[in-house]
Structure 1
Amino acid sequence: MNRREYAAIIESRLREESDRLSREFGEHTVQSCYIDNLLPEDEVKKINAAFPDKDTMMLKKSLRENKYVAAQMDKYNPILEEIIYAFQDPRVVKAVEEITGIQEMLPDTHLYAGGISLMAKNNFLNPHLDNSHDKDRKLYRVLNLLFYVTPDWSTENGGNLELWDDGPKKPQREITSHFNRLALMATHKTSWHSVSEVKVDRSRCCVSNYYFSEKPLEEHEYFHVTSFRGRPEQPVRDVILQTDIALRQSIRKIFKKGVVENSHVYLKDEETNELPGASGKS
């Protein structure tokens, strides 16, 4: 299937459950909802089977996180690019706008911090706020779309999305990374979220997209770097990470785009200024 075919099914499924999704999205401080059985099961298994070996992906390992990511999608199986960009189809964007109430959202063709991610045993993502803007610091990041594609994934496996509605010092709620589940999550100044440590010797695979907007979700303008905190049981790590936030935030006040360019983007072909595969063909 190509991205247009994926997008048609995704739009249909979203509209089938739009009333429930819209209602659930507004129930918590970290606005979120999820839908199961998004695509035909066989198709999602093909997507999962196409994931590259983690050794070919970028390892991000520190006190903040431990996971594998990739955004330069022309290096991998074409099906991965097709499913990623299916979520950027205008029909899907419109359906998501109607569910979330967030208008005039813009998908990110550069996949800044998006693309695919893989979490193996002992991988984790500490509580954090996403960077408030896009790679050029011109648009606000307003929504995460996380599509989980690993078959037979249970809550007990770990690697699940955690949402901290009352901040990183209070209890969190959890959305299991179930197979064929799409989670939508707003991102703003209080949208603390994390991924629990993977407990099993398997890979939890996810297709990630971010939507941006010229307007922030808050009623005022703001800027913050990706901001990590320690878990409640990690007081020492929390102090270190809060210091890290302050340092990096200070640097960004001087260097608007940072000192080192973020390599987690899909680099365009310089001659055509087009993304490989942009025609939508498989």
Structure 2
Amino acid sequence: MNRDQLAKLIVNRLNSDRELLKQQYDQSKNKIGHFYIDNILPKEIVDEIDNQFPNQNKMSLKKSLRENKYIAAQMNKYNPILEEAIYAFQNKEVVNCIKYICGIEDLQPDEYLYAGGLSSMNKDQFLNPHLDNSHDKDRNSWRVLNLLYYVTPNWNDGNGGHLELWPNGLKKKQITIHAKFNRLVVMATHQLSWHSVSPVLVDSSRNCVSNYYFSNNPLQANDKFHVTTFRGRPEQVITNQVLKIDSFLRMNIRKLFKKGIKENPHVYKKEN
């Protein structure tokens, strides 16, 4: 199926529960606005998306104190269904559905997949608590929504690899949203939207299709530019201090070099 056909299925599913989803987002938007919905696409389509995920040796490994995961954004290297699935979420009608649910009028999908695309996590891989980079790759638009679509069949709650939201800060208990098969999670990104991915606990891969939406205006009036900012988990006292220094240094580099010292490779470089 192509992206337009997939988008029609996504729109139909979102519209079927849109008032409940709007209520879910509205109830959380004062801190970290979010909603999630299951059974976005027919099972056989999602199975095929997962089956065609690239081998991890064909993805890029990001491994540090901050994170440990595989990522891919150069979509013309992989099976076409993966690109079609990603860009289905950028279809105008899908974006309009998300606009209504989240009450955000100005939303722009990102054709370059800056920090989006595909991600895969194996046993012991993780993503520490962090704030997403506040802007797009050219630092012109504000990052406002993160769309995460989980495609691994039979991913049990005990497997780990789940999204964690920290609406009351990193010293308070987090909200866990399980990485359930065929589940779409949409969450707000701003300077207080701390989130993480719990370590994967099983010998299997948790696969995710992700998109970001941007806007000409930040979600919160007092939002300021920031690089991707990491912290340690509550029990990681030393790691937390190291990551504070790391974020401080990277932020000051970006004050001197608007787009960083080198180009971020996590983008879809299109031929034209």
* Counterpart residue number, 1:83: 85
- Select which of 112, 122, 125 maps to 1:123: 125
* Counterpart residue number, 1:276: none
Q: Gapped runs of 5+ residues in structure 2?
A: none
- For residues 30 and 112 of structure 1, the distance between their equivalents in structure 2, rounded to whole angstroms, comes to 21
Alignment of 1:205-216 (within 5 A): 205-216=207-218
Alignment of 1:173-192 (within 5 A): 173-192=175-194
Does the CA contact (< 8 Å) of 2:190 and 2:223 recur in 1? Answer: no
What is the CA deviation profile of residues 209-242 of structure 1, one whole-angstrom value per residue up to 9, with x for unaligned ones?
0000011101145100000000000000000001
Question: Aligned partner of 2:13: which letter?
Answer: R
* Counterpart residue number, 1:277: none
Percent of aligned pairs with the same amino acid? 58
Q: Work out whether 1:196 is the aligned partner of 2:198.
A: yes
- For residues 132 and 193 of structure 1, the distance between their equivalents in structure 2, rounded to whole angstroms, comes to 14
What is the CA deviation profile of residues 79-104 of structure 1, one whole-angstrom value per residue up to 9, with x for unaligned ones?
00000000000000000000001112
Question: Aligned partner of 2:269: which letter?
Answer: L
Runs (4 or more) in structure 1 with deviation over 2 Å come to none
Q: Gapped runs of 5+ residues in structure 1?
A: 274-282
Q: Work out whether 1:96 is the aligned partner of 2:98.
A: yes
What is the CA deviation profile of residues 52-110 of structure 1, one whole-angstrom value per residue up to 9, with x for unaligned ones?
11111000000000000000000000000000000000000000000001112000000
SS in 2 for 1:206: strand
- For residues 111 and 65 of structure 1, the distance between their equivalents in structure 2, rounded to whole angstroms, comes to 19
* Counterpart residue number, 2:153: 151
The number of equivalent residue pairs is 270
* Counterpart residue number, 2:113: 111
- For residues 124 and 168 of structure 1, the distance between their equivalents in structure 2, rounded to whole angstroms, comes to 16
- For residues 211 and 106 of structure 2, the distance between their equivalents in structure 1, rounded to whole angstroms, comes to 16
Question: Aligned partner of 1:7: which letter?
Answer: A
* Counterpart residue number, 1:26: 26
* Counterpart residue number, 2:174: 172
* Counterpart residue number, 1:57: 59
Does the CA contact (< 8 Å) of 2:132 and 2:227 recur in 1? Answer: yes
Per the normalisation by structure 1, the TM-score is 0.95
**RMSD in angstroms over aligned alpha carbons?**
0.7
Per the normalisation by structure 2, the TM-score is 0.98
